[in-house]
Amino acid sequence: MPKISVLYFGQLREQLACGQEDLELQDPCTVAEVWQSLHPQRTLAQNILIAVNQEYVKADFVVKGGEEVAFFPPVTGG
């Protein structure tokens, strides 16, 4: 079965106590479905940034396997 690598950055990494995990896909699915399968108790916030293979995407982007999916908290600066 195809796998994807899921990465977490910033506060998400701290909140989830996890920096990276792998997921085997049964079928192609959206990034939002990836999040739900790994974190069924947590809603994917609309302000979370998502990248697939280092390109920003929306939550409805479909992954098929072999990709790297990254979730980032909103970026702030000053």
Tell me which fold the domain 3-69 belongs to: Ubiquitin-like (UB roll) (3.10.20)
- Helix ranges (H only) for the chain are 10-16, 31-38
Q: Where are the domains of the chain?
A: 3-69
User: Tens-of-pLDDT digits for all 78 residues of the chain?
Assistant: 799 999 999 999 999 999 999 999 989 999 999 999 999 999 999 999 999 999 999 999 999 999 999 999 987 766
